[in-house]
Amino acid sequence: MISRKCEQVNRKRCSECLALCTATTDCQQGTRQNACPSLFDTLVWCSLFLFMLPHLFSLCFHIKVPLCYSLQMKRDGTEFDKSVAWGVRFPFAFPVWFGPFLSILNLHHPDYIKTLLSSTEPKDDIAYRFIKPWIGDGLLVSSGQKWFNHRRLLTPGFHYKILKPYVKTMADCSRLMLDKWEGYSQTNEFFEVFGPVSLMSLDNIMRCAFSNNSNCQNEGETNTYIKAVYELSDLVNMRIRVFPYHSDLIFYLSPHGFRFRRACRVTHRHTEEVIRKRKEALMEEAKPEQTQAKRNLDFLDILLCARDEDDNALSDEVIRAEVDTFMFEGHDTTASSISFLMYSLASHPQHQEIYRERPQGDHPWIPYTTMCIKESLRLYPAVPGISRKLTKTMTFIDGRSMPEGSYIGAALYSHHRNSMIWENPKVFDPLRFLPENVSKRHPHAFLPFSAGPRNCIGQNFAMNEMKVVIAQTLRRYQLMADPARPPKVAARLVLCALNGIYIKIKPLQPGATTSLSMKMP
Ligand code: HEM
């Protein structure tokens, strides 16, 4: 019998489903529970494969375009190498096939990507559709007038003045995590960072955006809400990869569909509770203007005080969708970015030294830290690709066009390693981001936060969080990478490492604790 319970950090493989787990490697990626394939999955796969075989053969004979199959992207840490290689062969764009009927044209040239990102074409109805039952029709997935109104409404929530006081909260959250690492600094052992960093970033977004002290760094995954958020991330990711589960019927009849619905109920109940409590608190606080005067309005306050064109308050369902969207977008992305940043610096100790040697007075180290962060985001973009479904023909700069109904994406991971844009693309070199070097590149060469009207609304929040966490970490510890265990990079909603991200730490001044006083950059 196959179990769904997978291994914990540092254990080699799941003890209860050894054979299948070694095949998926998913089981080795951290503290989260993962979805191991069941007998049901295997049957679904086999029947679908038999059904599609004739179509595949006929396609191979007739098609005249490059054949790049998602199945060629093995989940063994080399899936992105494949896409980088396709980018070299097809410098403008290459289609990737998911089964015989569905393909996404992956753009790989800054001019092409610019055309796509300047448009307001809606998100595709493949990957984003699978997240919708969880995050609803929030900012990430909505389109048209609804998206426009909500974007306008939420943008003030990311204003400099709103973000400024969050620095202290960010510092508190990262200090809590670093305190817990004190033990590792004494034992000299390698440990996995994605798990604790992820809890820290979840803690941070809950405190900053909803003023909700989750205590999740202490409770860990014993907290039912945290467990549900992790389960949903894993299940959505699994659904994207396993083509038969693209069908609602098959997915919801499967055990995974059952777990998905259950986890959705848990997260929705939790969000509704947070909203209800805040509503009650706001009612007690008389007028919203007085609230603003008393304390900083957080993201939830902005939603609750918002009025539409007819002066109606937003419905609970709309508010819940936005809250769930921010919980989803606001923690996994930063967790991935911070973990890979730590790994990048651990592998390049010379850049840690440059950071520490900078005079600390006026914080001139911030630009250097920013360059390190950007270089890490270039090599390890948390969102490795984005996609849209065209509602009308799209014509690119050279006159070539794609018809309405096509799926088009920007392959950000391979774009950031495109040797036509980046010299020695695999080398970690923060100096690429010196202003004089940036000015020589295409403005759409570096796109970790996307660009255009649907760029990341939380990018300043994320950059601040990364700066605070890395500043705290480097002041306290020296980071060292494990040369025997480089991360096997893969997409799991966000960029992750199949085998975890391992570093070890050495205290800079034994016993010293950090007290960070930091000006905003
Ligand atoms: C390093 C961390 C982050 C990265 C790399 C990142 C990246 C991205 C990217 C590439 C997109 C465009 C997605 C698409 O077009 O499909 C996006 C959109 C979005 N991000 Fe982020 N993000 C990060 C952190 C955050 C944070 C912290 C928040 C919230 C606090 C956030 C909220 C959003 C939202 C709401 C959208 C949708 C915006 C819209 O469509 O109008 N992100 N992000």
Which residues are within 8 A (CB) of 338 and not within 5 positions of it... i.e. 6 or more apart? Answer: 197, 201, 465, 466, 469, 470
Single pTM value for the model? 0.84
Q: What is the CATH number of the domain that holds 461?
A: 1.10.630.10
Atom number, ligand 1, closest to the C-alpha of residue 448: 5
Mean pLDDT of 357-378: 77
State percent of the chain over pLDDT 70.
78
Structure tokens at 387: 């996609």
| Whether residue 102 sits in one domain with residue 23 | no
| Whether residue 203 sits in one domain with residue 334 | yes
- Which residue shows structure tokens 């299948």? 20
Beta carbons of 48 and 244 less than 8 angstroms apart:
yes
- Judge whether 163 lies within some domain: yes
| Whether residue 321 sits in one domain with residue 255 | yes
Q: Mean pLDDT lowest for which of 70-84, 317-331, 433-447, 504-518? A: 504-518
- Judge whether 43 lies within some domain: no
| Whether residue 380 sits in one domain with residue 322 | yes
Is pLDDT above 70 for 286? no
| Whether residue 425 sits in one domain with residue 336 | yes
| Whether residue 419 sits in one domain with residue 301 | yes
Over the stretch 311-366, which tens digit does the pLDDT of each residue have?
Answer: 777 888 889 999 999 888 888 899 999 999 999 999 999 989 887 776 554 455 56
Q: Which residue has the higher pLDDT, 48 or 20?
A: 48
- Judge whether 514 lies within some domain: no
Beta carbons of 170 and 200 less than 8 angstroms apart:
no
Atom number, ligand 1, closest to the C-alpha of residue 325: 35
Mean pLDDT of 191-207: 92
Q: How far is the CA of 326 from the centre of ligand 1 (A)?
A: 9
Q: Which residue has the higher pLDDT, 385 or 213?
A: 385
Over the stretch 158-170, which tens digit does the pLDDT of each residue have?
Answer: 888 888 889 999 9
Nearest CA to ligand 1 atom 18: 456
Mean pLDDT of 497-507: 93
- Judge whether 114 lies within some domain: yes
| Whether residue 333 sits in one domain with residue 293 | yes
- Judge whether 137 lies within some domain: yes
- Judge whether 519 lies within some domain: no
Neighbouring CB atoms inside 10 A of 255's CB total 13
Ligand 1 probe mutation, 158, 380, 456, 468, most atoms within 8 A of CB: 456
Q: Is 27 annotated as a binding residue?
A: no
| Whether residue 68 sits in one domain with residue 25 | no
| Whether residue 202 sits in one domain with residue 304 | yes
Mean pLDDT of 389-394: 95
Q: Which residue has the higher pLDDT, 339 or 207?
A: 339
Q: Tell me the pLDDT band of 39, cut-offs 50, 70 and 90.
A: low
Residue 359 structural domain: 61-82+92-119+127-507
Q: How far is the CA of 117 from the centre of ligand 1 (A)?
A: 14
Neighbour-count burial for 479-501, b at 16+ CB within 10 Å, e otherwise? bbbbeeeebbbbbbbbbbbbbbb
Q: How far is the CA of 422 from the centre of ligand 1 (A)?
A: 24
What is the distance between the alpha carbons of residues 284 and 475, in angstroms, rounded to a whole number?
A: 43
Q: How far is the CA of 26 from the centre of ligand 1 (A)?
A: 25
Atom number, ligand 1, closest to the C-alpha of residue 461: 27
Could you tell me where the beta strands, DSSP code E, fall in 3-84? 68-69
pLDDT of residue 270: 87
Q: Calculate ∠ Cα 491-492-494, nearest 5°.
A: 80
Residues with CB under 6 A from ligand 1: 123, 139-140, 151, 325-326, 329-330, 333-334, 337, 382-383, 386, 448-450, 454, 456-458, 461-462
Q: How far is the CA of 387 from the centre of ligand 1 (A)?
A: 13
| Whether residue 353 sits in one domain with residue 210 | yes
| Whether residue 455 sits in one domain with residue 408 | yes
| Whether residue 70 sits in one domain with residue 165 | yes
pLDDT of residue 444: 96
- Judge whether 39 lies within some domain: no
Structure tokens at 197: 């960093």
Atom number, ligand 1, closest to the C-alpha of residue 466: 1
- Judge whether 51 lies within some domain: no
Q: Which residue has the higher pLDDT, 246 or 449?
A: 449
310 by Cβ neighbours in 10 Å (0-12 / 13-18 / 19+) ranks as exposed
How many domains does one find in the chain?
2
